[in-house]
Amino acid sequence: MPVSLALAFAAIAAAFLLSLWAVQRRTHDAATADVGWTVLVAAGAIVAALIADTLPARRALVALLAAAASLRLGAYLLRDRVLSGRGEDGRYQALRARWGAHAQRNFLFLYLAQGVFAFLFLIPIRAAMRDGWLDAWDLAGALLWLVAIAGESAADRQLAAFRADPANRGGVCRAGLWRYSRHPNYFFEWLQWWAYVLIGRGAPLTVLGPVMMFLFLWFITGIPYTERQALRSRGDRYREYQRTTSAFFPWPPRAE
């Protein structure tokens, strides 16, 4: 990406994230940070495809897959975390309480960090736009992408249906894919990034996608915060779920 265009994209991304942070100041709900990240990845993938000098077919394929996956996730997060009416996500409530008087300053850094994360994930997406005609590896990548998106969408629907039933309040979702993994949505989001490794065969930087996503989900923004919140709200029920169910990779549950 030309330096001037990269700087322009960075400026637009920063302005977009600052506007989301300003909305957060008024609503006291930081879930828009998650949505902002997905929008930037989708927009960046399209920009990368437009300016790359490789053959158009693979550029278009990668941009379509990356933008569709990011916007699907963003739309789900918007409905589930911003427009659901349930209030601010527990992760951000905990951060707001911990940060106290410095909360708004720290949330500003958190919002701007989404731009950095988006840029990092655009590196493997751009690398997958390698030169050359479409081949069987591209077909394999597209099929893997379909499996991953179908799995993630199914996990999201199953969790939403569980939460929508008042009888399940305070319970643990074990429906469908949630019987085999405590975080099937995270697993399939991670699996999606392997599609770009197949499509970008021979481009080493594509491996950054699944590696970074696993590190973020396993150690930083995904499983640690989600599990701590689940233990606070569900207690022993969730501890039993932890004992019997795989944390990430789908696997038959252990005997209770």
Please write the tens of the pLDDT for every residue from 2-18: 666 777 888 999 999 99
pLDDT at 2: 63
pTM for the whole structure: 0.92
pLDDT at 109: 96
Residue that has been written with the tokens 């410095």 in this structure = 102
Q: Which residues of 99-111 are buried (b: 16+ CB within 10 A; e: fewer)?
A: eeeebeeebbebb
**137-191 confidence digits (pLDDT tens):** 999 999 999 999 999 999 999 999 999 999 998 899 999 999 999 999 999 999 9
Instruction: Work out the burial of residue 205: count CB atoms within 10 Å of its CB; fewer than 13 is exposed, 13-18 middle, 19 or more buried.
Output: middle
Residue that has been written with the tokens 């958190």 in this structure = 110
**104-133 confidence digits (pLDDT tens):** 999 999 999 999 999 999 999 999 999 888
Average of per-residue pLDDT values in the chain: 92
Task: Give the DSSP letter string of 22-56.
Answer: HHHHHH--TTHHHHHHHHHHHHHHHHHHHH--S-H
